[in-house]
Amino acid sequence: MKIVLHVCCAPCLVGTLPTFAELGEVFPFFYNPNIHPLLEFRKRLKALDVLAERENIKVEAVRQYGLHRFLKLVPPDGKGRCPICYQDRLGRTAHHAAETGAAAFSTTMVSSTYQDHNAIRKAGEEAAAEAGVEFIYKDLRYCAADGLALAKKMGLYRQQYCGCIFSEYERYKDTNTDIYRGTHKTAKTEKSP
């Protein structure tokens, strides 16, 4: 069976590929207009390219940065964005599966311990019904740690947040992470005579 596997990132692909390969021939597909900012998008795509080259995996990727598309889809405050994002990414993947003659599709997001699995499953099933292909849901959260460990061993980029600018804000808003860590000296002012 031919399966199109939506890929959110290289570490998730590393962790889930063996399980999906047991079900059929897997065709990874990267479509993530949610990933921001631009440099983060490029880092994740580059990590996937590196993995694909090393492991001789053919990956299809939508390489256009999706800032404008994502911002049109989600509310300005970002609330309720995840189900909308899942619908967009899995809808595109389902149509890609149908167009390429695949019998089914799934997503590496099913290995995430941070994602809403009920919403992923719902979006996948709706996309499957619309595109006329099967959605395969498997709870692979147990693969997350192994995928990250293997990605680290392989020297692949491992992101620190889900992908969108709202999740980046939520990840870092309560931290004291500084960009500049050098010695900070304040300028001394001379006293007037």
> What are 69-98's pLDDT values in tens digits?
999 999 999 999 999 999 999 999 999 999
The verdict on whether omega for the bond into residue 193 sits within 30 degrees of 0, i.e. cis, is no
Q: Are 137 and 111 in contact (CB under 8 A)?
A: no
Give the whole-angstrom CA distance, residue 66 versus residue 35.
8
Kind and range of the H or E element at 45? helix 38-55
Mean pLDDT (the chain) is 91
Angstrom distance (rounded) from CA 13 to CA 42: 17
Topology (CATH) of 2-172: Rossmann fold (3.40.50)
CB atoms within 10 A of CB 59: 19
The pLDDT of residue 23 = 97
pLDDT-based confidence at residue 177 (cuts at 50, 70, 90): low
CA angle 46, 51, 52 (to 5 degrees): 95
> pLDDT over 90 for what percent of the chain?
74
Residue 57 has pLDDT above 80, yes or no: yes
